[in-house]
A and B are shown apart, each in its own frame.
Chain A
Amino acid sequence: MTDKIIIESGRAEKNYWRDLWRYRELFYILSWRDIKVKYKQTVLGVLWVILRPLLTMIIFTFVFGRIANMDMHSAVPYSIIVFGGLLPWQFFSNALTECSNSLIGNERLITKVYFPRLIIPASSVITSFIDFLISLLILIILFFFYRYTPPWQILLMPIFWILVFFASFGPGLYLTALNVKYRDFRYIIPFIVQFGLFISPVGYMTSKIPSKWIWVYSLNPMVGVIDCFRWCIVKGAPNPFLNYPFYISMGVIIFFLVLSVYQFRKMEKNFADLI
């Protein structure tokens, strides 16, 4: 059997998704490369994956809990509440940053070889996702440290891992495509990440937001995601599925994902000429 490929200007390639499948090993190999390279020549190596969120969590617990007095003195240790938000947030911010720089960082590949370009940003999100999975270990350590038994919902957590993956992939994909053409986004992204931390319920619970404004607040896709993670970890946290803000966040996530894939496919053909 021979594969017939037709190349024409403006032709939406029918075999794009088939190619994506054919090159599926590239997802794995590019993420593997990024992980390998990231921790080469570091003394602590993969330990950094654990150390970074751990240190942030300690700072957060101190600043928000003690100084800003956000600690509600509930039955659940404040560190665990913070960590329930910090885990998905750190994944989101890492994935967004890595993803948006992924195409520029792989310029050589783009100008010299063909493969579906979608693989590059996707594998950079996979790389961050693996870091995220490793940092989940801290959560287990925290449970033991506080002798804390999580609620049964913790078993549902893997579903929300997938959710946070797509919540990060959507905007990341859009930003990386724009970054090829307008390098300004290199400077905009750190700002989005910094600002986003404050408009997401990381150091506090969503319940702190006045209910009048909750629908605006939920336009931030990470609000729904973090609420889900909290629900899995924190006893007595509200079930996100019962409240409408969750569905607003979900809508935004899906909207971004569809828009990004569409936009990426449109811009993809010119990457080699623009980069």
Chain B
Amino acid sequence: MDDTIIKVEGLGKKYLIDHEREGGYTALRDVISSRAKRIFGEKRATLSTKEEFWAIKDLDFEIKRGEAVGIIGKNGAGKSTLLKVLSRITEPTLGRIELNGRVASLLEVGTGFHPELTGRENVFLNGAILGMGRSEIRRKFDEIVDFSGVERFLDTPVKRYSSGMYVRLAFAVAAFLEPEILIVDEVLAVGDAEFQKKCLGKMQQVSRGEGRTVLFVSHNMAAVKSLCSTGIVLKNGRMDFYGSNYEAVQHYQNHNQSNTSFHHEGEVNLAPGNASIRILQMDVVPQEGEILSMNSGVEFRLKVFNSLVDRNLDVTFEVANNDDIIIFHQGVILTSGGNSKIGVYEVSCVLPKLFLNAGSYNIKLIFGENQRYLIYEVSSFLSFEIVQESAGSNSSRLPGVTFPELSFKVITP
């Protein structure tokens, strides 16, 4: 039997970015008026100015049965598009994919969960949506509930669940899928650490113990290293690297650090974010000198466009190192009197010198309301590298997450 389970040849997906339309969808009026203009001889009556954008292009790879593949890359590198094309949610523009098995994709936890329905009802609903039959769900129901740990609330509508409970139940359903190919987007980023560990363990069992093929997108390098056997690094929609998991992570970290600046150009509503908040600009700059070093101090400069009126907004910076250890998670309140206005807000955050040790760091941005409700979050939005400062005669990096300036007192005999 052929061992190849996924074969991808010359895969590409093109999107047209529309610069004119505003609501995100075409209004019939526009089509009619543009046709009318054409009839009446206006030669340049186009619907809008369209720009081609290849989310992924020229991808070729083969995946063997039972392999666990990590797909890594920056935001916008095409990871999600690749998963969407592989899971048949959207059609490729070019190329061909051969899948030799049943595919289940988990691009979001709790797809189809309805807030009004109870936990029990949602297990059946979600299971059916993911492709499980009713009898199959019934057979695994106890195991699912057991794994999720929400037995007591099974007959409560999920709208009354805490977000943690919601995620646990949703992941539990997906964990008991039995496809030959499992496609998982960054769903593990949610939930508490303990549950994340449990999910990783389950996925490990799926790929190693049961010999299924797993495709896994993550920003969590530690998870990729421990779970996957091979890694694909995507960059601007193209394959940047394909090899063993360690090599892939290494490659990614060596080539994709120092992404210290983001400037959105063009229309505000195309900037990263959602209808409430859009990130226009962010820079990581040294406070002193030209390079980010242990002695330079680091400043984050963030510019966002806010569309929420009369709310209490806050933004949190979460900085983690390459081992995914969170160095700090601290925020600032943008508006406190319930008086947010539509417009551009600028935030600056200064990290003192002699705080971060040399190494690579990732910034996650979290926008919230009333310091409680999530408006928008984005992982690994920017990353930066702190360069080693020669401290005395020792020029190699010293261990430690931070490198604080301490005051020592020595009493000599």
Chain A contacts to B: CB under 8 angstroms: 2-10, 22-23, 25-26, 29, 33, 36-37, 40-41, 108-115, 181-185, 269-270, 272-274
Docked CA distance A270–B26 (Å): 14
Q: Which of B43-51, B128-136, B270-278 is the contact stretch? A: B128-136
Complex CA gap A3/B131 in Å reads 14
> Nearest residue in B to A268 (C-beta to C-beta)?
B91
Number of B residues whose C-beta is below 8 Å from A?
Answer: 47
Chain B residues contacting A181 (CB-CB under 8 Å) are: 25-26
Determine whether the beta carbon of B111 is less than 8 Å from that of A114.
no
Q: Whole-angstrom distance between the alpha carbons of A11 and B115 in the complex?
A: 37
Contacts of B107 in A (CB 8 A): 112-113
Known: A111-B89, A183-B25. A26 touches B128 (CB 8 A): yes
Q: How many A-B residue pairs have CB under 8 A?
A: 115
Q: Can you name 15 extra interface pairs (CB under 8 A) apart from A26-B128, A182-B25?
A: A5-B99, A6-B97, A6-B98, A7-B85, A8-B92, A8-B96, A9-B95, A25-B134, A109-B129, A113-B111, A115-B131, A181-B26, A182-B31, A185-B28, A269-B90
> With A36-B121, A113-B105 as given contacts, are A184 and B27 in contact (CB-CB < 8 Å)?
yes
Chain A interface mostly: mixed
A41 surroundings in chain B (CB, below 8 A): 116
Chain B neighbourhood of A25, CB < 8 A: 128, 133-134
Q: Could you say which of B27, B88, B99, B131 contacts A4, with CB atoms under 8 Å apart?
A: B99
- Pair B128/A29 contact, Cβ less than 8 Å: yes
| B29 within 8 A of partner (CB) | yes
Find chain B residues with CB under 8 A from A8 CB. Answer: 92, 95-97
Interface residues of B (CB under 8 A from A): 15, 23, 25-29, 31, 84-103, 105, 107-108, 111-112, 114, 116-117, 121, 124-125, 128-131, 133-134, 157, 180
17 contacts between A and B (CB under 8 A): A2-B180, A4-B100, A5-B99, A5-B100, A7-B92, A8-B95, A9-B92, A22-B131, A26-B128, A33-B125, A36-B121, A108-B108, A108-B112, A109-B111, A112-B108, A184-B27, A270-B90
Residue of B29, B89, B95, B97 touching A184 (CB-CB under 8 A)? B29
B66 vs chain A, min Cβ distance (A): 13
Q: Which B residues are in CB contact (< 8 Å) with A40?
A: 116, 157
Docked pose: A8 CA to B121 CA in angstroms: 36
A36 / chain B contacts, CB cutoff of 8 Å: 116-117, 121
Bound CA–CA A117/B225 (angstroms)? 37
Cα separation A48 to B176 with both chains bound (whole Å): 39
Is B133 a contact of A182 with CB atoms below 8 Å? no
**How many whole Å from A27's CB to the nearest CB in chain B?**
10
B27 touches A182 (CB 8 A): yes
In the bound complex, residues from chain B placing their C-beta under 8 Å from that of A6 are 96-99
State A95–B225 Cα separation when bound (angstroms): 51
Known: A8-B96, A111-B89, A270-B91. A33 touches B114 (CB 8 A): yes
**Contact between B97 and A7, CB atoms less than 8 A apart:** yes
Report the minimal beta-carbon distance from A12 to chain B, rounded to whole angstroms: 11
Residues of chain B contacted by A3 (CB below 8 angstroms): 100-102
Q: Enumerate chain B residues within 8 angstroms of A185, measured Cβ to Cβ.
A: 28
Nearest-neighbor residue (CB-CB) of A6 within chain B: B98
- Contact check: which of B84, B87, B101, B108 meets A2 at CB < 8 Å? B101
Q: State in angstroms the CA–CA spacing of A114 and B94 once bound together.
A: 19
Q: Give the distance in Å from the alpha carbon of A26 to the alpha carbon of B125 in the complex.
A: 8
- Residues of chain A within 8 A of B114, CB atoms compared: 33, 37
Q: How far is the CB of B209 from chain A (nearest CB, A)?
A: 20
Among A4, A113, A185, residue most surrounded by chain B Cβ atoms (within 10 Å): A113
Known: A4-B98, A37-B114, A272-B89. A113 touches B129 (CB 8 A): yes
Whether B95 pairs with A272 at a CB distance below 8 angstroms is: no
Residue of A nearest to B7 (CB): A6
